[in-house]
Amino acid sequence: MISTKILSLVTFIYFAAFVFYLFRMTLGRDSWGRLATYTAFTGLLAQTIALIWRWKVSYDLGIGHAPLSNFYESLVFFSWTIVFLYLIMERQLKNRSLGVFILPVSFLLMAFASISPDISSRIDPLIPALQSNWLTSHVLTCFMGYAAFTVAFGLGIMYFLKIAAAGKKGKMIAGFIHLLPDVDVADELMYQSAALGFVFLTLGIMTGSVWAHYAWGSYWSWDPKETWSLITWLIYALMLHTRHVRGWRGKRMALLSIIGFACVLFTYLGVNYLAGLHSYLKT
Amino acid sequence: MINNKSRVWSFFSSVRLAIALLVIIVLVAIVGTIVPQRNAADLVASQLPSGLFSFLQTIQVFDLYHSVLFFLLLGLLFVNLIVCSINRFPHAWRQFRFKFSPENPDIFRGISEDAVISTEQNEKVVAGIAATAIKSRFRGYLNQRTAEGLYLYGDKGRFSYFGVYAVHLSILVLIVGVVIGSLFGIEGQVNIGEGQIANKIDLRDKDQALLLPFAVRCDRFTIEFYENGAPKTYRSDLTFLKNDQVAAQGQVLVNHPLSFEGLRFYQSSYGLTSDGKASLSLFKNGKKSQDISVGLGETFVLPGKEGKVQVLRVEENLMNMGQAVKLSVASARGETVFWVFRHIDKIREMNPGIIEQIPMFNPGLFHPYVFVVSDVQEKYYTGLQVSKDPGLPVVAAAAFLMFVGLMLVFFSSHRQVWLRVDVQAEGTRISIAGRSNKDAVGLQRDMKNIIAQIKRKLESSQ
């Protein structure tokens, strides 16, 4: 299938973009940065085309559903939302240093989707449980949330790197660290990303509840994925509260954004190893 | 007494309590996803020492999300939220109601050069243009003339002070909705064979059935498959009967439940069940004497008139040993009851001596006859989940309130601008200053737009 081939190519494009962002950071020349942005943008464009193509093919096959219906498609879409969100942020911030931390996540997701033998890239018709108008809005909102949390995670890693390297000497490290945004800026961005993710995750849980109400007869069943999405929601709620009410900043926020992201990953991948109602994501 | 009261109050009004509660709820929720819950707990029952298992069961580890501990945590969070809100809301209310004075000379100290416009236009024209510019971007508008000049004031987004309270209130409403649902809701399950009628459902949490004020008939159950073998549709055609009269008809599909008299019916499972009809063969002294079709409850007389046979049960899968029919033979010897398995040969092969151990499994228990089941007719049954949740509208209202609250918290801010118009020797001067409770960037954008608009108007009015 052409779309699958394009998507495997996108894996390499994102890897290249990551390498270019890294060159920008270590070699210090901004032309690498521009190249990295163009490469990431090309990858996003190709990925968008491939997703739309997949959508079209599913209609040609008479199946007709958005490319958000199985594990393969969710991995591809997750990586798409991350790059999409990142490029918007890069444009607004006019700072390319975050790319080194974000692009590898997108690359790894795509690589996992393309290489893992257990993940089928076929376009299959929807089983009855997935035949719902809520599928698209639920998956869309959840993954926008995940993507925003990924950005917050990247900023958290960056934050720790910046304070760890603060005392270190060496031209390359100094140059790298110098290009990173100030800790205050990173802290503010981390908060904003987490807040954006929180709003989207809330919407994701709400749309999921409405869907569950129609499909499973109950808006909440304590299915492991539901429970873990609630755990993730509570962790980020904690993060927002400790910041606003107790004035936590910097290191603590960075730590929470990393813990939160671990919960996101477990909500997304980990629960597949627990029994539950979301089982169609296993294949 | 007062001291005690204030101590309790300050305990519940602390944010530390809220944070501690959230952390504990998270931990409990995690345990609940690792330890098998409810029905799944039966699987670990055999692997644990029975004493340990019953101890864990007593402390509700296997039903954590409905345990006393969990409700206690939710209750504490509930009180904590209320007390915190009562403590803090008056402050937000004051901020919301506060009448800002248009006159605020201090705020103009140290404003940048960009925020000052000088023009040769007279004060009246300038004031008109400035007022229009503020009103075009801000909802609230006030003005005041002082000795220093004319002050204009605009603000918007006062409701943003309420965002946090809306979100917290939505959590309270949500908890209320959940409690209403768990107290007055119904969750049950019923299997109905094609053509059969059910008027009661098995309740999920209790070991009892609920009699419905109506009856449900499954007219037909349909499964369709895709070419790749994956299921495409599960559909039940249902008829609701009230006093034996058809009251409603409809189809239930996955994702498309059906409502009748406040109860919602969901397609949740299906399976095969016996139709109550079976084909039997009778052997007498090793020779086939008769083939006969029987139905549940029917009776027939043995060919040699030795007795009367009644069909007690017709099962499509008895104890995982396949199709079976339970017969009772009434004769001069008394009553002989036994099971006839369709695959008795295989069962005997796998469990040698079973007939000797359990005479009731012997198809030849009534000499000299041996019974053989050649077929049990099967049909589909549909598994319907039945539920009623009076807390649903409350939960929906909570979701809406939470959404509105989050929008106010994250995407709105109280923005205020002050304009001073004062007459200088060479013309009129406009100074602009602003303040926002959270969105400095948005305020900057608003101010830039106002400045641009004023400049544009001033130029065109010359």
Residues in contact with A74: Cβ distance below 8 Å, sequence separation at least 6, in sequence order: A68, A139, A143, A268, A281
Looking at CA atoms only, how far is residue A187 from chain B in angstroms? 15
Nearest residue to A264 (alpha-carbon basis) of A150, A108, A119, A115: A150
Q: How confident is the model at residue A110 (pLDDT cuts 50, 70, 90)?
A: very high
Distance, in angstroms, between B315 CA and closest chain A CA? Answer: 29
3-class DSSP state of B427: strand
Least CA distance to B15: which residue of chain A? A245
| Shortest CA distance from B84: residue in chain A | A245
Percent of chain A scoring above 70 in pLDDT:
97
Which long-range contacts link B241-250 to residues 24+ away (Cβ below 8 Å)? B241/B197, B241/B214, B241/B215, B241/B216, B241/B217, B242/B213, B242/B214, B242/B215, B244/B215, B247/B214, B249/B219
Amino acid in the structure at residue A241: H
Q: Is A222 on the interface with B (CB under 8 A)?
A: yes
- Using CB atoms within 10 Å of the CB of residue B229, give its burial: 0 to 12 exposed, 13 to 18 middle, 19+ buried: exposed
Question: A128, B26: Cβ pair inside 8 Å?
Answer: no
DSSP E strands in B172-323: the ranges are 186-193, 197-203, 209-225, 231-242, 245-253, 258-260, 263-284, 287-295, 299-301, 307-315
C-alpha distances in Å from residue A256, one per residue of A10, A159, A248, B409: 31, 12, 10, 20
* Chain A residues 105-124 with a CB less than 8 Å from chain B: 124
Q: Which residue from B40, B65, B410 is facing A275, i.e. has the nearest CB?
A: B40
Asked if the C-beta of A203 comes within 8 angstroms of chain B's C-beta atoms, the answer is yes
pLDDT confidence tier of residue A103, bands split at 50, 70 and 90: very high
Confidence at A283, pLDDT banded by 50, 70, 90? very low
Of B22, B233, B387, the CB nearest to A128: B233
Q: Closest chain B residue to A221 measured between Cα atoms? A: B65
- Residue B1: its pLDDT value, please? 47
pLDDT digits (tens, 9 = 90+) for A200-256: 999 999 999 999 999 988 999 888 899 999 999 999 999 999 998 888 888 899 999
Q: How far apart are CA B272 and CA B284, in angstroms?
A: 32
Cβ contacts of B35 on chain A, cutoff 8 Å: none
User: Is residue B383 within 8 Å of B269, Cβ to Cβ?
Assistant: yes
- Chain A residues inside the 8 Å CB shell of B18: 241
Are residues A259 and A251 in contact, defined by beta-carbon separation less than 8 angstroms?
Answer: no
What value does the mean pLDDT take over residues A107-121?
A: 90
pLDDT number for residue A276: 59
In chain A, the percentage of residues whose pLDDT exceeds 90 is: 61
Q: Nearest by CB to A217, which of B40, B231, B385?
A: B385
Say what percent of chain B tops pLDDT 70. 99
Longest CA pairwise span in chain A (Å): 62
**Interchain pair B230, A195: CB under 8 A:** no
A283 min Cα distance to partner chain B (Å): 13
Q: Nearest to residue A269, comparing CAs of A128, A47, A81, A113?
A: A113
Do B177 and B391 form a contact (C-beta atoms < 8 A)? yes
Q: Give the closest-approach CA distance of A95 to chain B in angstroms.
A: 17
The residues near A264 (Cβ < 8 Å, ≥ 6 apart) are A146, A149, A150, A153, A232
Residues of chain B positioned with their CB less than 8 A from the CB of A275: 40
A199 → closest Cβ in B26, B30, B406: B406
Nearest chain B residue (CA) to A247:
B15
Q: How many contiguous H segments (helices) and E segments (strands) does chain A have?
A: 9, 0
Interface with chain A: mutation pick from B19, B22, B26, B444, highest number of A CBs within 10 Å: B26
- Architecture of the domain made up of B99-157+413-461: 2-Layer Sandwich (3.30)
The enclosing H or E element of B173 equals: helix B163-184
C-beta of residue A152 within 8 angstroms of C-beta of residue A197: yes
Using a CB-CB cut-off of 8 Å, the residues of chain A touching B226 are 124-125
DSSP run (H or E) holding A86? helix A71-93
Q: By C-alpha distance, which of A166, A155, A17 is closest to A93?
A: A155
**Cβ-nearest to A195 among B389, B403, B410:** B410
Check if CATH label 3.30.70 holds for domain B183-273+382-402. Answer: no
Q: What is the amino acid identity at position B143?
A: N
The answer to whether the CB of B174 falls within 8 A of the CB of B397 is: no
Three-state secondary structure call for residue B239: strand
User: What's the pLDDT score for residue B106?
Assistant: 87
Same fold, B99-157+413-461 and B183-273+382-402: no
Nearest beta carbon to residue A129 from set B254, B264, B399: B254
A166 CB near a chain B CB, below 8 Å? no
- pLDDT tens for residues B13-25? 888 899 999 999 9
Question: Distance from B379 to chain A by nearest Cα, in Å?
Answer: 21
- A216, A264, A273, A282, best to mutate vs chain B, most B CBs in 10 Å: A216
Residue B417 CB: number of other CB atoms within 10 A? 23
Phi-psi region of A282 (alpha: psi -120 to 50; beta: other; left: phi over 0): alpha
Q: Residue B237's closest CA among B196, B189, B187?
A: B196
**By a Cβ cutoff of 8 Å, what residues of chain B touch chain A?**
15, 18-19, 22-23, 25-26, 29-30, 32-34, 37, 40, 65, 178, 187, 226, 228, 230-234, 253-257, 264, 266-268, 385-387, 389, 392, 395, 399, 402-403, 406, 410
The answer to whether the peptide bond before residue B368 is cis (omega within 30 degrees of 0) is yes
Q: Domain coordinates of chain B in residue numbers?
A: 2-91, 99-157+413-461, 183-273+382-402, 275-377
What residues of A are in contact with residue B30 (Cβ under 8 Å)?
Answer: 231
Tens-digit pLDDT profile for residues A14-43: 999 999 999 998 888 889 999 999 999 999
Mean model confidence pLDDT for chain A? 90
The pLDDT, as a whole number, for residue A136 is 93
B79 closest CA partner among B166, B7, B14? B14
Task: Looking at the complex, report in whole angstroms how far the Cα of residue A145 sits from the nearest Cα belonging to chain B.
Answer: 14
Phi then psi for residue B139, to 5 deg, are -80, -50
User: Does A265 contact chain B (CB < 8 Å)?
Assistant: no
CA gap B196, B167 in Å, rounded: 48
ipTM field: 0.90
Output the pLDDT for position A247: 83
- Contact across the interface for A219 and B19, Cβ inside 8 Å: no
Residues of A in contact with B385 (CB under 8 A): 216-217
- Across the interface, whether the CB atoms of B256 and A129 are under 8 A apart is answered no
Question: Which neighbouring-strand residues pair with B203?
Answer: B188
Which residues of chain B fall below pLDDT 70? 1-5, 462
